[in-house]
């Protein structure tokens, strides 16, 4: 029996919003998924909140709306409502707290806080409080009931599971590891987010390292999805090829009405995506208007034989589990 489709009625500020946390490996299409969800009535997408205190504020990175963080009226409103503004010292303090509490190295303690010491549990409680204030401020500033956070890393989601009263819903996004590996190996992918300092191009990683990290994140994401009452798993390839059906199924799993997807403007493989106040993520964030939904499967012809074999071997378990193997038949796949 699915849970109630929408949050209960009542004045917006008196309750915490539902939080849809997108889990998965980097370069899996989370920016697209987050922006699509942000088009639904009552939803707001805010990008990768995991980088907010650590990078976005201090580097004054560009918001999805095109403004530097310090010049975006939405984020300034969030700061005022949640924290009385973005005081640099307080921001550094939260970033340090986040580093001590909600990093990947803390996964075991986050999964079983009872085994962690009292000092760690006290810091975790403080971190939870900051996150709740942040989500609530976002919902209030946007007039939304649902906040879509595409942070992707499992550790912050694990930390949020313990926040009392937080309505956390987990959306596990998966993409074929070979496509992920090819994407991470690409060079010279610009980062329009940068305004003052910071790297101007996206990071690069080898196929083997990407596949190892993908496999680890897959295992943690699968565990979290099973352990969360309102959760769904979506394949990037299904989202792009069959957006309406995939979203209806995803919304149902997350405890929302599948009919919400009827509000999306999808026509002939094109979807209209307005700009948003999402932060971090893929440079595609800055492309607005009619966006063509097409599977990026350049890896099929461009990923080297060696890297394809290596990534397949490392990611074999999840590849089978998510039905990427045996290879799905596609009419345009080269025979050799």
Q: Least Å distance between CB 45 and Zn ion?
A: 11
Q: Least Å distance between CB 148 and Zn ion?
A: 15
Q: Which SS3 state, helix, strand or coil, does residue 284 take?
A: helix
Report the Cα 272 to chain-centroid distance in Å.
20
Whole-number Å distance between alpha carbons of 319 and 327 = 10
Q: Least Å distance between CB 67 and Zn ion?
A: 5
Q: Which is nearer to Zn ion, 77 or 296 (CB)?
A: 77
Q: Which is nearer to Zn ion, 65 or 202 (CB)?
A: 65
Q: Which is nearer to Zn ion, 62 or 235 (CB)?
A: 62
Whole-number Å distance between alpha carbons of 336 and 333 = 9
Report the Cα 229 to chain-centroid distance in Å.
19
Positions touching Zn ion (CB under 5 A) are 63, 65, 72, 74, 277
Q: Which SS3 state, helix, strand or coil, does residue 48 take?
A: coil
Q: Least Å distance between CB 72 and Zn ion?
A: 3
Whole-number Å distance between alpha carbons of 10 and 124 = 30
Q: Which is nearer to Zn ion, 74 or 256 (CB)?
A: 74
Residue 81: what are its φ and ψ, rounded to 5°?
-70, -40
| CB neighbour burial string for 116-136, b if at least 16 within 10 angstroms, e if fewer | beeebeebbeebbebbbebbb
Contact 167, 37 (CB under 8 A): no
Q: Which residue bears the tokens 């090829």?
A: 241
Q: Least Å distance between CB 75 and Zn ion?
A: 6
Please report, for residues 71, 104, 225, the alpha-carbon distance to residue 217 in angstroms, rounded to integers and kept in the order given: 34, 10, 12
Q: Least Å distance between CB 73 and Zn ion?
A: 7
Q: Which is nearer to Zn ion, 75 or 184 (CB)?
A: 75
Q: Which SS3 state, helix, strand or coil, does residue 135 take?
A: helix
Q: Least Å distance between CB 74 and Zn ion?
A: 5
Whole-number Å distance between alpha carbons of 13 and 143 = 9
**H or E element that contains 272:** strand 270-273
Q: Terminus-to-terminus CA distance in the chain, angstroms?
A: 48
Q: Least Å distance between CB 288 and Zn ion?
A: 12
Q: Which is nearer to Zn ion, 65 or 224 (CB)?
A: 65
Contact 95, 54 (CB under 8 A): yes
Q: Which is nearer to Zn ion, 191 or 230 (CB)?
A: 191
Q: Which is nearer to Zn ion, 46 or 94 (CB)?
A: 46
């Amino acid at each position: 029996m699915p849970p109630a489709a929408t949050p209960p009625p009542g004045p917006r500020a008196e309750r915490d919003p539902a939080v849809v946390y997108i889990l998965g490996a980097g370069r899996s299409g989370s920016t697209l998924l987050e922006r699509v969800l942000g088009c639904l009535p009552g939803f707001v997408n805010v990008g990768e909140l995991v980088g907010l205190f650590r990078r976005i504020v201090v580097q004054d990175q560009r918001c999805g709306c095109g403004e530097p963080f310090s010049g975006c009226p939405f984020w300034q409103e969030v700061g005022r409502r949640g924290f009385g503004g973005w005081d640099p010292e307080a921001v550094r303090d939260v970033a340090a707290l986040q580093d001590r509490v909600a990093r990947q190295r803390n996964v075991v303690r986050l999964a079983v806080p009872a085994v962690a010491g009292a000092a760690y549990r006290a810091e975790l409680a403080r971190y939870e409080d900051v996150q709740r204030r942040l989500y609530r401020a976002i919902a209030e500033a946007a007039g939304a009931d649902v906040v879509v956070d595409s942070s992707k890393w499992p550790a912050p989601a694990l930390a949020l599971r313990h926040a009392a009263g937080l309505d956390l819903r987990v959306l596990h996004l998966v993409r074929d590891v070979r496509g992920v590996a090819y994407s991470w190996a690409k060079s010279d992918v610009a980062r329009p987010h940068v305004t003052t300092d910071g790297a101007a191009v996206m990071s690069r990683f080898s196929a083997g390292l990407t596949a190892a990290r993908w496999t680890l994140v897959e295992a943690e994401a699968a565990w979290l999805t099973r352990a969360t009452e309102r959760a769904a798993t979506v394949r990037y390839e299904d989202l792009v090829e069959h957006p309406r059906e995939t979203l209806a199924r995803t919304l149902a799993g997350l405890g929302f009405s599948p009919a919400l997807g009827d509000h999306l403007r999808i026509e002939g493989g094109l979807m209209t995506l307005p700009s948003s106040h999402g932060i971090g993520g893929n440079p595609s964030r800055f492309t607005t208007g009619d966006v063509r939904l097409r599977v990026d499967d350049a890896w099929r012809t461009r990923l080297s034989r060696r890297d394809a074999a290596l990534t397949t071997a490392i990611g074999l378990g999840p590849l089978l589990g998510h039905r990427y193997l045996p290879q799905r038949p596609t009419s345009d796949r080269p025979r050799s």
